[in-house]
Amino acid sequence: MKKHSATQPASTDARSGAGRKRATRREAVRLSDPHRAREAERYEQPLPSRELILETLAQQGVPVQEENLCGLLQIEAGEVESFRRRLRAMERDGQIMRNRRDAILVAHKLDLIAGRVEGHPDGYGFLVPDGGGEDLYLSEKQMRKVLHGDRVMARASGVDRRGRTEGAIVEIISRANTRLVGRLHQPRGVAFVAAENRRISQDILIPPGAQGNARPGQVVTVEITAQPDKNAQPEGRIVEVLGNYADPGMEIEIALRKHELPYAFPGSALRLAEKLPEEVRPNDCKGRADLRALALVTIDGETARDFDDAVCCKREGDGFRLWVAIADVGHYVRAGDALDASAHERGNSVYFPRRVIPMLPEKLSNGLCSLKPGVDRLCMVCEMAVNAQGAIVDYRFYAAVMRSRARLTYDQVAAALGLLPAKGLAVAGELLPQLRDLYALYRILAKARAKRGAIDFETIETQMLFDEQGKIEHIVPTQRNDAHRLIEECMLAANVCASDFLQSRKHPALYRVHEGPTPEKLEALRIFLKQFGLDLTGGDAPQAKDYAKLLARIKDRPDIQLLQTVLLRSLKQAQYSPKNAGHFGLAYEAYTHFTSPIRRYPDLVVHRAIQAVLAGKHYKPGDWEALGAHCSMTERRADEATRDVESWLKCYYMQDRINEEFDGSISAVTAFGIFVALDDIYVEGLVHVSELGEDYYRYDAARHQLLGERSAQRFRLADRVRVKLVRVDLDTSRIDFRLVAESGSKKRVKRS
């Protein structure tokens, strides 16, 4: 026993000494990581960064087995699974790949390009590189191995006869499609599904026994059981029969699946929602400011059901005090719970004609969080002091409980202010003074907006009116009035305060970023404007005020629509990012979204960040960069889905008007033809270049025109034309026109 007790401490000391050496080596490896601070910011237990992993692999000069790489980077047993996940993510992103012996190597060492496949309806495609640069052309032969959206490794293999760099696919990183929506066909007994997404040109073969109860011609969802390769088409089995193509609402069912929009809430989220109370409980109000005596009102459209903002305004000397109360969604949807995971996946609510796919279950979106009149609701408030020049001189954020005095519509408010003829329910008399104060504040804020130089494009928005069968009866323009603009200015003010609040306290945020034109687009814009004797001031870095000055200068010209359209198209698309690059269009140095947390996930994230700062804490939603990219993606996805639905409905609306003639304007010019928007009908279709006359037409992108080589006939954006409807294709949502001569004249095009 004595011998054992004497040797035990020595053995322990030896083991602890070895452990200290391992820990020292591990610390040395981690300290050598150039991005260790970034990793520590993102993760509680940071792993070696991707950069360090790539550097370590490059130093070895040969493919490395995973076990050896773990040793080189001092990965401990408890970190192995997380490290493997990082390696898999790097494989998906095309940074590394594995050889046939499962050893890891750096992809760029093999001159391989990682990217996403963009399919074309005609069978060929392109590889869009992850790192930017020239796209690789993928021939039909190469496209047989993949489907649109797949991520692959490819190498440049030559140049085709049109001068495009061709690509050869070396490895498929990941498959994008597991389920597709399309129509079932069964000619000569061979069943296949033609995908609704025309970028997927390959048919999905349905083997015997995998058809279920589906009948030819029906719209189905097919699960891909075998991905394509160079020798075989993709195969699948039908897992859902949606119905017949022309069934009411089918266009939305197709769009939901085609764009992979989450449309059914997971059971875990619904169960969590059911556990929430029906109304605000007394305990929920503790620690909150009581604004129930304040005359807050909601002002929305006629059909709105999710009221997430309420306003109140009072004069204070020469200025105003403005309260913007926003539904406190974060009180009920906690970071990381099932409701939050579902909201994150959706990213935003999607508003189709006659149907909404909400970001949150209805109990929250239309119930507990919606600022309905006459009931207590929890809210986050931005209270602002605005001076007589429209500047926000002071603001504060706080949690409160409120009770909306009224649910008002834009038309009601406009009528109460004498801006529209009175129609329908009148606004209660006691609310009129504060509405007048709101309107007075709006006019001051509008002047400040103009002085700031924000761009104000006047675009025509439309609304579809439906019959009892769910098909379009009429398409009518929606009229924006000063009540719309009043609420817009209030929301802008609160959003600017939210960005300033977080930025001044150095807390990360998701900014709403809108950058100015690229040098290429700016050059094209200047070339276009020059032919009209116009110029955009601001040199190589024009600001929003330069655009605003030009818009003010051209507002009374007959070609205003043409010029405004080209100005608008020169700008980038807005997106979400943790890197603040300002909002070009609104002329703000910093801007974020705070005012719609019921229907936009970025707003919920901003609420949580503000609440964390108020509590003296720090909010970490994970990777801010990835979160911004995801929210930008879900916004684009929703836009594409709603555009698809509207296009199909318009096709259905026009299918009985074949051979009718219409007047319209050229709304877009492409190398393959001109798109024409019809007057008073608000439907757009294509006049193919082959229908423009017996001539060769040269496409001039800078001047937005097609020019006939022999005839010098010019088709330019916003030109007036008369067309005949010759074809409507419901399958592709395509409307085709043909130019027609005007009565008593051979001239078919009028200059705007």
| Region 47-57 average pLDDT | 87
- Per-residue pLDDT of 282-311, as tens digits, reads 999 999 999 999 999 999 998 888 899 999
Give the DSSP H or E segment for 344.
Answer: helix 338-346
Domains of the chain: residue spans and CATH: 23-108 (1.10.10), 111-174 (2.40.50.140), 179-245 (2.40.50.700), 267-511+590-641 (no CATH), 658-750 (2.40.50.140)
Whether residue 6 has pLDDT greater than 60: no
| Region 332-339 average pLDDT | 96
| Region 537-546 average pLDDT | 91
Whether residue 76 has pLDDT greater than 70: yes
- Per-residue pLDDT of 614-652, as tens digits, reads 999 999 999 999 999 999 999 999 999 999 999 999 999
Q: What is the structure's pLDDT at 19?
A: 53
637 DSSP 8-state letter: H
Lowest pLDDT segment from 2-16, 148-162, 390-404, 423-437: 2-16
- Degrees to nearest 5, angle at CA 397 with 393 and 398: 145
Assign 704 a pLDDT band (cuts: 50, 70, 90).
Answer: confident
CA distance 616 to 633: 32
Contact 140, 169 (CB under 8 A): no
Assign 95 a pLDDT band (cuts: 50, 70, 90).
Answer: confident
Amino acid identity, position 165: T
Assign 744 a pLDDT band (cuts: 50, 70, 90).
Answer: very low
Please give the C-alpha separations between residue 182 and each of 96, 198, 648, in angstroms, as whole numbers: 35, 10, 15
Q: What is the structure's pLDDT at 59?
A: 81
Assign 5 a pLDDT band (cuts: 50, 70, 90).
Answer: very low
Q: What is the structure's pLDDT at 611?
A: 97
Q: What average pLDDT is seen over the chain?
A: 89
400 DSSP 8-state letter: E
**Would you state the structure tokens that stand for residue 518, as one six-digit string?**
């690229």
Amino acid identity, position 474: H
| Helix 432-452 × helix 544-554 angle, to 10° | 100
CA distance 438 to 445: 10
Q: What is the structure's pLDDT at 107?
A: 73
Distance of CA 293 to the CA centre of its chain: 38
Whether residue 535 has pLDDT greater than 70: yes
Contact 167, 157 (CB under 8 A): yes
CA distance 142 to 138: 6
Helices (H), 505-623: 519-530, 544-554, 560-569, 601-614
CA distance 107 to 12: 45
Is the dihedral angle over the CA atoms 233, 239, 241, 242 positive or is it negative? Answer: negative
| Region 563-574 average pLDDT | 88
Whether residue 336 has pLDDT greater than 60: yes
> Within 10 A of 334 (CB to CB), how many other CB atoms are there?
12
Lowest pLDDT segment from 16-25, 140-149, 457-466: 16-25
Whether residue 16 has pLDDT greater than 60: no
| Region 232-254 average pLDDT | 92
β-pairing verdict for 406-409 and 297-300: parallel
| Region 506-526 average pLDDT | 93
226 DSSP 8-state letter: E
Q: What is the structure's pLDDT at 748?
A: 52
Contact 590, 580 (CB under 8 A): yes
- Give CA torsion, residues 480, 484, 485, 486, to 10 deg: 150
Amino acid identity, position 240: E
| Region 206-231 average pLDDT | 94
Contact 752, 663 (CB under 8 A): no
Lowest pLDDT segment from 7-11, 370-374, 589-593: 7-11
| Region 560-567 average pLDDT | 83
% of the chain at pLDDT higher than 70: 94
Q: What is the structure's pLDDT at 689?
A: 92
Whether residue 2 has pLDDT greater than 50: no
Contact 448, 387 (CB under 8 A): no
Contact 742, 748 (CB under 8 A): yes
**Would you state the structure tokens that stand for residue 210, as one six-digit string?**
């995998």
Nearest to 752 by CA among 722, 724, 723, 717: 717
Helices (H), 531-600: 544-554, 560-569
Q: Which region holds residue 354: left if phi is over 0, alpha if psi is between -120 and 50, else beta? A: left
Q: What is the structure's pLDDT at 14?
A: 46
In a 13 Å sphere around the CA of 231, the CA atoms on its Cβ side amount to: 0
| Region 429-452 average pLDDT | 94
